[in-house]
Structures are given as C-alpha cells and as structure tokens.
Amino acid sequence: MLSLRSALLCAALAALAAAAPAESAHKVKETVYPPRGWTVLRPAPPAHTISLRIGLPQPKFPELEEHLYAVSDPSSGRYGAHLSKGEVEALVAPHPESVQLVDEWLVSHGLAGDALSRSPAGDWVTVKVPVSLAEKMLDTTYHVWTHAASGAALVRTTSYSLPAHLHEHIDVIQPTTTFARSTPMSATYRSFRAGAAAPDRTDGAKVAVPGASGGQVAASCNGTITPACLLELYNATGYTPQAAATNKIAVTGYLEQYANYADYYQFLEELVPYAADSNFSVVYINGGVNNQTLADAGVEADLDTQYAFGLTYPTPGTFYTTGGSPPFTPDDLEPTDSNEPYAEANDLPQSISSSYGDDEQTVPYSYAARVCAEFAQLGARGVSVMFSSGDGGVGDGDADPATQECYSNDGRNATEFIPGFPASCPYVTAVGATSQVPEIAAWFSGGGFSNYFARPSYQDDAVTKYLGELAPGIYAGLYNASGRAFPDVSAEGVNFTIVWELEAGLVDGTSCSSPTFTAFVALLNDARIASGQAALGFLNPLIYALNAQAVSGFNDITVGNNPGCGTEGFNATIGWDPVTGWGSPNFGILKELVLSA
C-alpha cells in the first residue's frame, strides 16, 4: 500500500508529465572520435549505474568573468575585492526556463524529487541511472572501452542526442563522450625510487645562487630536494607564518590516492622537525575515503601533503579526497561515481594544488569549457588554483611507438603537439618543472598552447614576444599559436625526498612542482592576510603584470627544453616560455611586491 507521501509524489509526477509538452525528436548533441589507444570491448551492461551530470547554460558567465578580472588585476580599483559564494552562484545560475524544461524532460523519464541532486547555483543537475535508461534518454548506446597502455576501462559513448527543444537549455551531459582518465602527473619512469637517505647538509658545502636566501644553497640540494632546500632556493628561509588562524592551503586527491598519516609524521620528523606536532584535515567529496592501511598509501597523495603542508607549517592544510575509481573493471556491475574536482563549500582554502590532468583532446570541448568555468568561480571567490602542467613535454603518453609523433583526435589524425588539461584553462595557474641547482628546465615539463581556449589578454605581450623570437617556420602546424599558452610559472620537480609506506625515496614530476609553488603562494597569502589585506586569488593577471616590471620576483629559467612528439620541443629562454613559464618564485621579493599590490 502506498504511503501518503508516495501517493502525493506519484500524483505530482503524473501531473507534471501530463502538463509537459510533447517531447520533440532527438537531435545529435555531441559526437567525438575515440581517442588514440582506446578500443571498444562490448556493449555496457544494462544494469550498470552511471551518474549523469547535466550542465545547464550560465547566461551571466561573461559578467562573472568581468568580475574575476576586475578583482584579480593589480591595476584595478577593485583588486582583492573578491565575490561571496552567493554572488558567484547568482552569476552562474541558469535561466528559469532552462530549469523548467530540463525538469519536465527528467520527469518524463520518471526522474524527480529525491532522484535529482542540484549544485547550489542550480547549474548542474545530477541523476544516477542504469545504462539502459541513460541510453533511452540520450538515444545512444554505451560501450565498455579499454585503454591499451594503461589497462583502464570506461563506460562511454561516442555520440549522444537530446530532444531538439532542449539543445539550447543543456550545455553538456557527462559521462558520455569524455575519455579523460584524470591521471596523476607522473609517468612510470618517474615513479617512486626507494632507498633514498636524507641528504647530508652538515658538510657546509654550498652552491652560489644569487636569488636564494643568503645567496647560496646547500650543495646536497643539487641531487636531492627537501623542504629546507626549497626554502633556501626560493628565498624564504626564516619566514614564520603569522595568519594561521585564517589562511589555509589544500591539495586534491583522486583515483584512490590516500594520504597516509604515518608517512606524513615520519617525513616531518626526518625533514621538518619543527613541524613534527602538526596534522592535516581531510574533506571527503563524492564518497571519497582516505584509507590508512599502509599498503593503501598513495605516492602522489603523500608527496602533495608532505610538501604543501611541510613547507607552510603552521598554516592549516586540507586534503580533498574525491570518490571514484576510474579503472572500471569491465566485468564489474557495481556503480562507479565520476570524479568531481570541486568542493561546494563556504569555507574554501585560499590556495589549492592539483597534480592531476589528461590530454586536452580526450575531454570534449563542451565539458572542458564548463570545468574551466568552475575554476573561474573559485578565482572570483579569492582562491588561487594551481595545476601541474604535465610530464610529457609538448606531447602525451600515446605517441606512435614507431615515429613518436602525436596525433589529433578530430578525425584528421593530423600530426600535432598535445596540450594538457586543466593546465590549458586560462583561469588556473599552470606549474611547470625545473631541475638542478642553479635551476634549468626539467626535460619533461609540460608546455604548449591550447587548442580549446583562446589566449587570454593577460598573456598577449609575453607570448607574442616569445613567438616572435622563434626560428621562422619551426613547428609550423604543430601547435595553435593563438591558444592559451602554458605553463605560467615553474618550480623544482626532480629528486624530491618523500616517505611512502614508511620508506624514504625519490620522486620526480610536475606533481612535485605544483604543491611546491602552491606552498609559496600560501606563504604570500599569509603575509597579505597578516597585514590586513585580501588573499591573492586568481594569480595570472598579477604574475604577468609583475613580470612586465624591472623586478618581477621570479627566477628566470633560460636553459633546457621539453621534448615530445618526436621533436625537441620548445626552448627555455629569457622571459616567458612554454617550458617553465616565467620561472620559479623568489619569495622574499614577491612578498614585498604583493604587499604593495
């Protein structure tokens, strides 16, 4: 027998279904070519549950973007006057007509009430449905796809449709056509190398580095990086954070990467003893967990927490752990959640580092644009968002084994460089990698030009200058010279000492660089907050403006290149370049500059 609540719900559904207009014929919304290396295995199990995220248009987003640049440009009278959560949500809210029509469509498929969840602004609607219903709603067929190189598997389709009258009211629905694996920014040849001992810093040997604390760095740092090395190298030795009650820093974790407390404590005891009594908090997103069994410890998660939080003690650190396990087992009929890179929170940290990403072309433009817009929202609220620039130089992990060339995924199969995402989003700060002391460009530092996003105005002068100095015709046709260029900055990324499963070892990658740079951003935020000023927020307009001055606060990296796709890649040079950006931070100089911004 139906309860009163159930009876009322059924009646309401019936009334809405009766009132809804006759559904128009389906029309193709999006079609993609399967990325190189992915093979269709078989039709997806009809009972497999997927979590469909439906993105409604954000008609006021151009206004949000204007606010973002106004509060992020140091020459603006509104610099630092960040928007509130409510103000941002009002600027990304969909039009009521879009909400109504999408709700009517969902009701027609029996989805309403508790079956739906909405983002605070209402611009995303999420429904969990079996593949069989998703196929009916989207007039498509899902398959299980496998990736040859990694063994990963996904339930995806290469095309989906919507009723014609909904096309202008829905921007995107995923997971459908995105084949991104959200991989940590480290390849297997840069994985954990066990058995490293903490370097001997007691012999007094030094390397002259003019911009470092005291003009020199311990010679041991030329082979093994520690927090002490980074504080010396980036001119922050002796700085004591003063705004720990207000300032916060965070790192993100995906793909069942768990940050282990035992590893963290041992790392601090050995390398940051003055912070040995510290801890970090964990925020769980989309069913995320943080297992503490030692065998579950993640190299990436340990690296991020140990350096981001070890360098910024006593600034409170947060580890965002997001649910979802992308290696979908092809025979597994259990539901899998999609990875969501955002926290819907009121109390956001002022700086966030993420060492995850994928080839831009494996993320359909419609979805990449919406994800990028989410980062613009964070920037408008005063959050600095950093992403690793990638570890494949100008290429990717799926280059042709014979020629090492990289190919487009648009049906042309054209030879071209492969930019990474989200590093290519113009609303994040992309961090490349350096090595050695004094620094040179790390050979794997991801960099290049987006095929999705146009070059933002804050980059025009610097990138135009770089392109004007390239040898005529070099790499013609291999990159989009008018695209958003990256990285923006860089930091050390080779031979980082971490503790994993209670054993010391070394890791490399822009996975090292992003939490390192973010830590120094957090220290700059600390200085501003302690002086009564706002946090820095979206950094790029400030970074490019500073580098137009005689004293920029960055260590220019002029040696090295980032090979990939069968080429030598781009060269590091004086000024900005698509290998190391503007270079690495000089905290001492930057602190004075941002206090006067």
- Residue 352 known to bind ligand: no
Q: Are strands 124-130 and 116-118 parallel, antiparallel or unpaired?
A: antiparallel
Domain check: are 421 and 543 in the same one? Answer: yes
* CATH at residue 553: 3.40.50.200
Q: Decide if 341 contacts 363 (C-beta within 8 A).
A: no
Q: How many CB atoms lie within 10 A of CB 114?
A: 7
Torsion sign, CA atoms 485, 488, 492, 498: negative
What CA–CA distance (Å, rounded) separates 208 from 233?
Answer: 10
Residue 69 placed within a domain: no
How many whole angstroms from its chain centre is CA 249?
A: 15
Burial pattern 572-584, b for ≥16 Cβ within 10 A else e, equals bbebbbbbbbbbb
Domain check: are 380 and 514 in the same one? Answer: yes
Domain check: are 499 and 578 in the same one? Answer: yes
Residue 516 placed within a domain: yes
What CA–CA distance (Å, rounded) separates 309 from 257?
Answer: 17
Q: Decide if 287 contacts 323 (C-beta within 8 A).
A: yes
> What 3 state SS string does 446-477 have?
CCEEEEEEECCHHHHHHHHHHHHCCCCCCCCC
What CA–CA distance (Å, rounded) separates 209 from 233?
Answer: 7
Q: What are residue 68's DSSP bridge partners?
A: none
Q: pTM here?
A: 0.92
393 token code pair: 């130089």
Looking at residue 327, its pLDDT comes to 40
Residue 7 placed within a domain: no
Q: Tell me how many degrees the CA angle 312-318-321 measures, rounded to the nearest 5.
A: 140
Residue owning tokens 């220290």: 523
Q: Decide if 145 contacts 17 (C-beta within 8 A).
A: no
- Residue 560 known to bind ligand: no
Q: Which amino acid is at 459?
A: Q
Q: Tell me how many degrees the CA angle 525-239-536 measures, rounded to the nearest 5.
A: 10
Longest pairwise C-alpha distance within the chain: 82
Domain check: are 140 and 287 in the same one? Answer: no
Domain check: are 24 and 165 in the same one? Answer: yes
3-state secondary structure (DSSP) of residue 285: strand
Domain check: are 159 and 267 in the same one? Answer: no
Q: At what angle do helices 85-92 and 61-72 cross, to 10 degrees?
A: 140
Looking at residue 445, its pLDDT comes to 96
Domain boundary residue, one of 179, 211, 234 = 179
What CA–CA distance (Å, rounded) separates 562 from 447?
Answer: 7
Looking at residue 296, its pLDDT comes to 79
What CA–CA distance (Å, rounded) separates 543 from 505?
Answer: 33
Q: What's the helix, strand, coil split of the chain in %, to 5?
A: 30, 25, 45
Q: Mind listing the pLDDT tens digit for each residue in 558-597?
A: 999 999 999 999 999 999 999 999 999 999 999 999 999 9
**531, burial (CB in 10 Å: exposed 0-12, middle 13-18, buried 19+):** exposed
- Cα dihedral 540→543→545→551 (10° resolution): 180
Residues ≥6 apart with Cβ < 8 Å to 264 = 280, 302, 305, 306, 309, 499
Q: At what angle do helices 96-108 and 4-19 cross, to 10 degrees?
A: 110
Burial pattern 332-370, b for ≥16 Cβ within 10 A else e, equals eeeebbbbbbbbeeeebbbbbbbbbbbbbbbbbebbbbb
- Residue 170 known to bind ligand: no
Residue 537 placed within a domain: yes
Residue owning tokens 């999609």: 338
Q: Decide if 56 contacts 122 (C-beta within 8 A).
A: yes
Looking at residue 164, its pLDDT comes to 97
DSSP annotation string for 79-137: TT-PPPHHHHHHHHPPPHHHHHHHHHHHHHTT--GGGEEE-TTSSEEEEEEEHHHHHHH
Looking at residue 35, its pLDDT comes to 81
Residue 338 placed within a domain: no
Could you tell me how many residues make up the chain?
597
Q: What are residue 385's DSSP bridge partners?
A: 352
Domain check: are 406 and 299 in the same one? Answer: yes
Domain count within the chain:
2
Looking at residue 184, its pLDDT comes to 55
Domain check: are 19 and 147 in the same one? Answer: yes
Q: Tell me how many degrees the CA angle 541-185-307 measures, rounded to the nearest 5.
A: 75
Domain check: are 265 and 175 in the same one? Answer: no
Domain check: are 367 and 477 in the same one? Answer: yes
Report residues of the chain scoring pLDDT below 50: 1-21, 185-189, 325-344
Domain boundary residue, one of 150, 179, 208 = 179
Residue 339 placed within a domain: no
Domain check: are 171 and 293 in the same one? Answer: no
Q: Tell me how many degrees the CA angle 20-23-29 measures, rounded to the nearest 5.
A: 125
Bond preceding residue 364 cis, omega within 30 of 0: no
Q: Which residues are catalytic?
A: 300, 304, 511
Domain boundary residue, one of 179, 205, 232 = 179
Residue 478 placed within a domain: yes
- Residue 460 known to bind ligand: no
Domain containing 588 equals 245-327+350-595
Q: How many CB atoms lie within 10 A of CB 117?
A: 12
3-state secondary structure (DSSP) of residue 543: helix
Domain check: are 438 and 546 in the same one? Answer: yes
Q: Decide if 554 contacts 577 (C-beta within 8 A).
A: no
